[in-house]
Amino acid sequence: MANLKLSHIYKVYENGHKAVNDFNIDIADKEFIVFVGPSGCGKSTTLRMIAGLETITSGDLFIGETLANDLEPKDRDIAMVFQSYALYPHMTVYDNMAFGLRNRHMPEAEIREKVLEAAKMLDIEMYLDRKPKAMSGGQRQRVALGRALVRDPKVFLLDEPLSNLDAKLRAQMRTEITKLHKKLGTTFIYVTHDQVEAMTMGTRIVVMKLGYVQQIDTPMNLYNKPYNKFVAGFIGTPQMNFFNVKLLRKGAKVEISYPDGSKSEVDYEVVSKIHNSYLNGEKEVILGIRPEHIDISEKKTNLMATVTAVEHLGNECIVYGVLGKASDEFTMKDEGKNIIIKTLEGTKVEVGDEIYLSIHEDKLHLFDKESEVTLLHAIPPYTLVEGEVKGDDLSLFGSKVKLPAAMKEAIGSASKVEFEVPPSAVVPGKDYSLKVKKIEDVDGQKLAYLVNGDRYLFALVDNKVKEGENYSFSLRNDKVVVLVDGKVVLEPIGEQEFVVGNFLKKDVGRNKVEFYYEVEGDQIPAPLENGYKINAVEGNNCYKKAYRYVFDRKSITLGEQGLAAHVEKVLDYGNQKYASLKLGEQNLLVEVPNDFAKEEVKVWLNGEAFEVWQQEIDFRIC
Ligand code: ADP
């Protein structure tokens, strides 16, 4: 039994192919984790790195509390089951199962006990004397499972174990593996390209695409709250319907324009978390709706489709159609109008019928057309708000405040400005006050809907804030985006900062070395562990090139020690002040006290806090 932790795991193959990018997950003891995604997305590579069959290019793998990157596969206490079974053909089932234990010189009596126990659990006791070739695919896969089982591993790794079996057997083995997992109480990691397998077996699922993790979530959350269009389309059969639509706010309603020209409406409340710039009726967005969330209506609705095919499955009926009236000849233009509806059997529809549809508003998904990321985040990343500038005054949320100098400079002479405000930038304070319409619990965080005219400003608040009351707040001006005429004139200040510099090793006495990050001529001590890691990943090339060192802005200290830097400018954000520093050829932005007025400073960077990034392939080494 064990928990696992994968922290910033990368795999770069020798040909330079980045097969796995920044894979992070904490796997609790006894979880059943499934890696799912199309062929080539990096599932097996990740599993093989956990097993120790593939080296980890960078990142840390913990099995239990042990850093396991360099452990031999046999020392990882892990058992792996492959698609190909990998049984020894000349050995009996018993001997196949006993093989690993004999190699470990376990007494024969103990081996017998373990093999019999596993055989019983897997219902293959009667085949122990057979050779694998005299068994069916399903039985062979059980033997392969049995061989893993007898070793009492801490973690089971299964790589597409069922893909050689026929559909019926697969379904049966799925249930059996799930039962086995429950019975053993061991951590399972299971790789498959089959979303049904993933959804039915996993306690949590990792959806991957092209070497990147798309979402890690429970089956229900993947189904209900897919992070992007890829996950939305990958999970669920028949696939979610996608249409390019336009959205237009009309008071308490939002009008949806479909590709066939038809229009329907949903309550604004349903999409109130969407960034306001998507509601002007101009920007195309992708609407997603699952076939099971569309009803065929008896009454006339605004959304109509023509039926092109009907599939009766006994208990349910899949209706295929195109939005609007079907053209005589199907053209490429019609492709974006295809629609699939899942209804109960008994619905009377035939090919050629014109049917009226209604969609379940609360099951609607919206994705950005370029990034394909959801537009309906549980916690909206930004809310767009409008303000007015007159001289040094800013009118915002019905209050007037002094415009901070950094903003004033960016805004110039414009009078109308917009701000994109992340919920975390709304902090308790005295500048503004808005009424709390509603408070929602999002995974333990309290999201408040503050009434700002006919829209909401979203804020994360504590338990003391109540619905119906007024909430007094200020803004972290350094965290908001400032726009004039729809163009960004001021970016928020991020949490991280970086410098670029070389890396070096010093021999200091007998077999002792020290490593340093060399930044603008200064040598910053590097943790020994990181030094070895960089060297292991990059070889001796590492002393000949520059790396990007990323750290928390908060870890920068100004004081008596460190690198000499020139203060180019002080940026005043009202409640926060930053100094823009020139450090040799590099720039650094650091938060400074309100009364800061220096021109030259010493910057102390903490090498312990550096993340080291390889710049050519762009991955985090440590
Ligand atoms: P999956 O298991 O999701 O099908 P893999 O982990 O097997 O995907 O492969 C991920 C990517 O890495 C693929 O593009 C594959 O071609 C590539 N790849 C796998 N093994 C190697 C290798 N030894 N050398 C170079 N590229 C590889």
Strand partners, 400: 395
Q: At CA 245, angle to CA 240 and CA 247, rounded to 5? A: 120
Percent of the chain scoring above 70 in pLDDT:
98
Report the chain's terminal Cα–Cα distance, integer Å. 28
Give residue 19 CA to ligand 1 midpoint distance, Å.
6
Q: Which is higher by pLDDT, 347 or 464?
A: 464
**The predicted structure's pLDDT at residue 168:** 83
Q: What integer is the mean pLDDT of 176-202?
A: 93
Which residue is closest in CA terms to ligand 1's atom 25?
13
Q: Where are the beta strands (DSSP E) in 546-616?
A: 546-552, 557-559, 563-572, 577-583, 586-592, 600-604, 611-614
Separation CA 290–CA 365 (nearest Å): 9
Taking the CA of residue 35 as reference, the ligand 1 atom at the shortest distance is 3
pLDDT at 348: 85
Mean pLDDT computed over 191-202: 94
Which atom from ligand 1 is nearest to the alpha carbon of 42? 6
CA of 371 to the centre of ligand 1 (A): 25
CATH architecture for segment(s) 496-620: Beta Barrel (2.40)
Long-range CB contacts for residues 460-469, cutoff 8 Å, separation at least 24: 460/379, 460/423, 460/424, 460/426, 461/436, 465/436, 465/439, 466/436, 466/439, 467/436, 467/437, 467/438, 467/439, 468/435, 468/436, 469/435, 469/436
Q: Which atom of ligand 1 is nearest to the CA of 45?
A: 6
Tell me, what's the pLDDT at 63? Answer: 95
> Nearest C-alpha to atom 16 of ligand 1 is from which residue?
40
Return the closest-CA partner of residue 296 out of 240, 365, 343: 343
Q: What is the distance between the alpha carbons of residues 517 and 531, in angstroms, rounded to a whole number?
A: 9
pLDDT at 134: 87
Domain-by-domain residue ranges, the chain? Answer: 4-233, 241-368, 383-490, 496-620
Residue 161 CA to ligand 1 centre (angstroms): 18
287 - beta bridge partners? 243, 366
Q: What type of residue sits at position 88?
A: Y
Task: Give the residue carrying structure tokens 């890396």.
Answer: 503
Mean pLDDT lowest for which of 143-157, 244-258, 511-525?
143-157
| Bridge-based pairing state of the strands 187-192 and 32-36 | parallel
Asked, as a colleague might, if the bond just before 38 is cis with ω within 30 of 0, I would say no
pLDDT of residue 557: 94
Dist. CA 226 → ligand 1 center (Å): 25
Q: Which residues line ligand 1 (CB under 6 A)?
A: 13, 15, 17, 19, 37, 39-45
pLDDT confidence of residue 60: 95
232 touches 367 (CB < 8 A): yes
pLDDT in tens, 35-82: 999 999 999 999 999 999 999 999 999 999 999 999 998 889 899 888
- Of the pLDDT bands very low, low, confident and very high (cuts 50, 70, 90), residue 331 is low
Q: How does pLDDT run across 440-452, given as a tens digit for each residue?
A: 999 899 999 999 9
Res. 470: pLDDT tops 90: yes
> How far apart are the CA of 164 and the centre of ligand 1, in A?
20
Q: Would the pTM count as exceeding 0.75?
A: yes
- Residue 197 CA, ligand 1 centroid: distance in Å: 21
CATH assignment, 241-368? 2.40.50.140
What is the per-residue pLDDT for 328? Answer: 54
pLDDT above 90 for 138: no
pLDDT higher than threshold 90 for residue 371: yes
What is the mean pLDDT of the segment spanning 471-488? Answer: 96
Give me the DSSP letters along 358-419: EE-GGG-EEEETTT-BBS--SS-S-EEEEEEEETTEEEETTEEEEPPHHHHHHHTT-SEEEE
Q: Which residues, including other chains, have CB under 8 Å from residue 107's CB and lie 6 or more apart? A: none
The number of the ligand 1 atom at minimal distance from the alpha carbon of 37 is: 3
Return the pLDDT at 334. Answer: 61
Q: What is the pLDDT of residue 518?
A: 96
Question: Between β-strands 241-250 and 280-289, what pairing exists: parallel, antiparallel or unpaired?
Answer: antiparallel
The Cα 115–Cα 144 span in angstroms is 12
User: In the predicted model, what is the mean pLDDT of residues 155-161?
Assistant: 93
For residue 1, the model assigns a pLDDT of: 61
Sheet architecture: strand order including 455-461: 455-461, 445-452, 426-442, 470-475
Instruction: Flag whether pLDDT at 330 surpasses 70.
Output: no
Which atom number of ligand 1 is nearest to the Cα of residue 47? 6
- Residue 39 Cα to ligand 1 midpoint, Å, equals 9
Confidence (pLDDT) at 333: 53
* 398 Cβ neighbours under 8 A, 6+ residues apart: 432, 434
Q: Would you say 100 and 81 are in contact if contact means Cβ atoms under 8 Å apart?
A: no
Domain topology for 4-233: Rossmann fold (3.40.50)
At residue 329, the pLDDT reads 55
Mean pLDDT over each residue of the chain, to the nearest integer:
93
pLDDT at 537 over 70: yes
Written as six digits, the tokens of 183 are 């019975």
Within 8 A by CB and 6+ apart from 416, the residues are: 386, 387, 388, 389, 484
Tell how far the Cα of 298 is from the centroid of ligand 1, in angstroms. Answer: 51
Mutation to probe ligand 1, out of 10, 11, 12, 13 (largest number of atoms < 8 A from CB): 13
- Measured in Å, residue 67 CA sits from the centre of ligand 1 at 24
Residue 483 burial (CB count, 10 A): 21
pLDDT value at position 485?
95
Fold agreement between 241-368 and 496-620: yes
pLDDT recorded at residue 287: 97
Q: What is the mean pLDDT of residues 218-222?
A: 96
Tell me the best of 11, 14, 17, 208 to mutate to test the pocket of ligand 1, counting ligand atoms within 8 Å of each CB and taking the most.
17
The H or E element containing residue 249 is: strand 241-250
